Amino acid sequence: MDYVTANKNGFYIYQYLNGKCISWRVNVQLPNHEVGQPNIFEKHRDLERVICDIFEYFLLNENYKKYNLNSICDKYKEYNNKILRIKHVNTTVLRNISCCILRSLLNILKGIEKNYCVKETYKNTARVKLDQKGLIVYDGEQRKGHYGDNFIFLPYDLYELIKGHIGLKNVLIWADTNIILKMKSLGYYRIDVLVKILNSLIKRCKLDEDIENFLIFTINKQITDIRFEMFSSDLPF
């Protein structure tokens, strides 16, 4: 269920749907309430439910695009009637809320409503996790179905550094995605080229020299070990 959040300028409601964040603000004067006390929507859940229904019908489902200025007013009448039937709320307050909602919907239809927004959301699939063998960094989307495969394992005490260093985290994810996961299909020589690129990327992170050298040595050694184990079965002896 969506929830209506009251603020000093009116109310706010949003929902994540199909990789998008759909948000809607309606400027309206609401009854004052003391700090720590329930606002009008918390007191009257029926009112909140009607507003959520309006949000879902007209905006989440983008049904407002089906209407013109006259027909959207006709459709809105049923919601207006529901709002005005809310009990124990001053009728003037309800009328004001309903009028401001309709005005906002009309402005959305006209394309001039600044308080309605649809944004693409970025799904963060970066993972930094503590495994039994050490710290692992990977892309959760790329690793689907491959969690039992090889990883680059790093010391646990690098956790805070990697979590807080976006550049280094991205480099380690790149190594996992482009070298470790694809190693079998890359072959010996292609792996060498990618390792050199990886070393260069680590140096660009501007880390402490000791940490930089440690990471390059440790990661290179693990890639070599994984590669040897993976390709040793193909050797003729």
- Mean pLDDT (whole number) for 75-95: 95
Are residues 19 and 97 part of one domain?
Answer: yes
* CA–CA dist 53, 62 (Å, integer): 13
> Any alpha helices (H) in 85-208, and if so which ranges?
91-110, 159-164, 166-175, 183-186, 188-203
CA-closest candidate to residue 205, choices 231, 213, 45:
213
Are residues 131 and 102 part of one domain?
Answer: no
Are residues 137 and 192 part of one domain?
Answer: yes
Mean of per-residue pLDDT scores for the chain: 89
Q: How would residue 153 be classed by pLDDT, with cut points 50, 70 and 90?
A: very high
Q: How would residue 236 be classed by pLDDT, with cut points 50, 70 and 90?
A: low
Residue 2: what pLDDT? 60
Are residues 151 and 47 part of one domain?
Answer: no
Domain-terminating residue out of 82, 98, 120: 120
Residue 180: what pLDDT? 93
Are residues 176 and 214 part of one domain?
Answer: yes
User: Domain residues for 61?
Assistant: 5-120
Instruction: Give pLDDT tens digits for 20-75.
Output: 788 999 999 999 877 667 889 888 999 999 999 999 999 988 899 999 999 999 99
Residue 95: what pLDDT? 96
* CA–CA dist 79, 212 (Å, integer): 62
> Does the pTM of the predicted model rise above 0.75?
no
Residue 234: what pLDDT? 57
- Mean pLDDT (whole number) for 136-158: 86
Give the long-range contacts of residues 134-139, CB within 8 A, separation 24 or more.
Answer: 135/159, 135/162, 136/176, 137/162, 137/169, 137/172, 137/173, 137/176, 138/173, 138/176, 138/177, 139/173, 139/176, 139/177
Number of structural domains the chain divides into: 2
Domain-terminating residue out of 120, 146, 162: 120
Are residues 153 and 116 part of one domain?
Answer: no
Are residues 139 and 72 part of one domain?
Answer: no
43, burial (CB in 10 Å: exposed 0-12, middle 13-18, buried 19+):
middle
Are residues 99 and 12 part of one domain?
Answer: yes
Highest mean pLDDT among 164-168, 181-185, 228-232: 164-168
Residue 11: what pLDDT? 93
Are residues 147 and 60 part of one domain?
Answer: no
Are residues 116 and 21 part of one domain?
Answer: yes
Instruction: Give pLDDT tens digits for 169-220.
Output: 999 999 999 999 988 888 777 899 999 999 999 999 999 999 999 999 999 9
- Mean pLDDT (whole number) for 92-111: 96
Q: Residue 147: is its pLDDT beyond 70?
A: no
Residue 35: what pLDDT? 64
| Residue 55: CA count within 13 A, CB half-sphere | 26
Are residues 165 and 90 part of one domain?
Answer: no
Residue 235: what pLDDT? 53
CA-closest candidate to residue 190, choices 217, 223, 166:
223
Domain-terminating residue out of 120, 135, 168: 120
Are residues 116 and 20 part of one domain?
Answer: yes
| Residue 161: CA count within 13 A, CB half-sphere | 15
